[in-house]
Structure 1
Amino acid sequence: MFTLVCLVAAAGCFGCGGWFVFRGRRGRAAADDFLRHGIVIPARVVEMRSRFVEPSFHRETSTRLSYFPVVEFALGDGRIVQAESMSGATPAPAKVGETVDVVFHRDDPTRVSLLTSMARPGAVSWAHQVLGVVICCFGGVVIAFWALLKLVLGVPI
């Protein structure tokens, strides 16, 4: 029975950890693509919107207040664009009136994101990957503990 519990726990850790690593790598790849193909330009923060959002990395029921800057910038053809950042952050990533660097999608200038703090595209992807590796390592510890008891010490499990 102990063997079964250890194997199920380890498999759960590897599965959960692998999911976090996969999610972090996928988020990082999408952010890198957006940054690589986007256009970087200075913009002025004209408004700060706040709303409660669900946490993106777990199924917790609590929400948190996030701040989404609204920025204004001029395109090369003279058009003025005003858009809300696609990602928010807590605390607010900028102050109203501040000039910040943003990246926007070349085909849709309203798809914009700040290049600072936790509002930067892919900012939390590294955390998903680290958490995934830690969880997988815990699964390895469970297997090592089982192997120590069963194979090295000869404990009848």
Structure 2
Amino acid sequence: MSDEMKADLWRRWRAGDSISVISRQIGKPPGSVFTVLKHHGGIAPSPRKARAGSLTLGERKEISRRHGTPQERSTGTSPPQTPRHTPRNQPGTPLDIHRGINAAAESFWALLKEEIGTRIWPYRATARAEVFTFIETFYNRRRLRKHKIFDYLTPAETRQRHQHALAA
């Protein structure tokens, strides 16, 4: 819907016209008119204004041109869009950290599907109850953490041991 149509829509809405009358006048379906009105709660949005002191596009380009490399300043070319040195697959990079988190999540979902299946439950509450039961009775209490740092204990036992160490 064009800005002119929206302005006409809001003018007619303030005048008290119904959605069906407005839709006929501007040539749009009533659902489109309703969506625009609903998005703003039936109150016409204030026109967008540039903030006092904000730069125009030309001013921003000029500043960028002045602060580029000497070659960019002389030729007027823009700087490259990709960074010159992008670390890839190195430990500690955001990509590497994301992969670690994703692997843990994938492992959890695979185990959940294996234990309770992928069937369809009649109610969301039933599905939530089954997932909760799985997490509380199996995932946190019986699943072994397969690493020597955790002494091959379950998450609940690891937490309990940590709390006893803090209390001591």
- TM-score, structure 1 as length reference: 0.24
Structure with max Cα Rg:
2
Choose between structure 1 and 2: higher strand proportion: 1
Which protein, 1 or 2, shows the higher relative CO under an 8 Å CA cutoff with sep ≥ 6?
1
